[in-house]
Amino acid sequence: MSIDIVNLLETIAGLAAGAVALLAVYRSLTIGKSLVTRIYRTRAYWLAVLMIIYAAFALDGLFPTNTALESDISDILFSLFLFALLVFIDSNVAVAREIDFFHRDILHWRTARSPLFAAIVAGTVIGIGVTIVVKNPTSGFAAYALVGYFILLGVAFAYSGAAMFVIARRTYDRTMKKFVKMLGFAILSYVLYLTLFIPLDAIYPHLGDVVTDFIAVAAAYFFYNSAMSLSFVGSIVKESAQ
């Protein structure tokens, strides 16, 4: 696959992911304004913040300058999104436990949350450190360290995505059920984005980059659908106010 085709496909995927994410921002903010219930309104605004970061990261890659500053901005946006997503997941688990009649824990989240946060924060610091200190992080020990880092992220967020599906199965709140289900699909899509490039690039150079860039579009689409799942509540509120 020629580098020109790779660049074209990555540009198309980046534009699509950024556009869908920005649309999700708009929908989240407009829906959030119409919501009276604090739980749903907070979900909408949290999602808007997440999608702003997501769109910034997707669009930032479309204007490569091959400078240290551009690389630093991408690293910051990537790390910020990871941490914000984990905080958002933790918030959804807390809300699900609050509205559950028996206040049941979800996949032992109370025990797992601290190790998850620690692993992602420490792994991100080490990953960024490797890319800064090592001149060629794609070879030798640095390459294995980065692969291990992305596998760690994949495991952590796969567990988080599974927690969303458990919430969807347990809750009787139809809006929350649909919201966390779409969020779960978005998280698992993001897991594929983080990890699938490892085996694909081993099979064929740049294949993993292209495929995962389009998976990022799918993840943005599921995030958008999670925002739209709250529109039903917003429409009810508007009708009752008329």
pLDDT digits (tens, 9 = 90+) for 147-159: 888 889 999 999 9
Give the chain's domain count. Answer: 1
Give CA–CA dist 154/190, Å, rounded: 8
pLDDT at residue 237, rounded to an integer: 41
Higher pLDDT pick, 95 / 60: 95
Which of 49, 74, 46 lies closest to 60 in space, CA to CA? 74
pLDDT at residue 234, rounded to an integer: 44
pLDDT digits (tens, 9 = 90+) for 101-131: 888 999 999 999 999 999 888 888 777 776 6
Please give the share of the chain, as a percent, with pLDDT higher than 70.
86
The answer to which of 3-12, 27-36, 85-94, 139-148 has the lowest mean pLDDT is 139-148
Which whole-number Å values give the CA distances from 193 to 49, 190, 234, in the listed order?
20, 5, 32
CATH at residue 204? 1.20.1070.10
Diameter of the chain by CA atoms?
66
C-alpha neighbours within 13 Å on the C-beta side of residue 147: 14
Q: What is the DSSP secondary-structure string of the chain?
A: --HHHHHHHHHHHHHHHHHHHHHHHHHHHHHHHH--SHHHHHHHHHHHHHHHHHHHHHHHTTS---SHHHHHHHHHHHHHHHHHHHHHHHHHHHHHHHHSTT---STTHHHHHHHHHHHHHHHHHHHHHHHHH-S-TTSHHHHHHHHHHHHHHHHHHHHHHHHHHHHHHH---HHHHHHHHHHHHHHHHHHHHHHTHHHHHHHSTTHHHHHHHHHHHHHHHHHHHHHHTTHHHHHHHHHHH-
Residue 132 domain boundaries: 3-241
Six-digit token string for 82: 């990871």
pLDDT digits (tens, 9 = 90+) for 140-189: 667 777 788 888 999 999 999 999 999 999 998 888 999 999 999 999 99
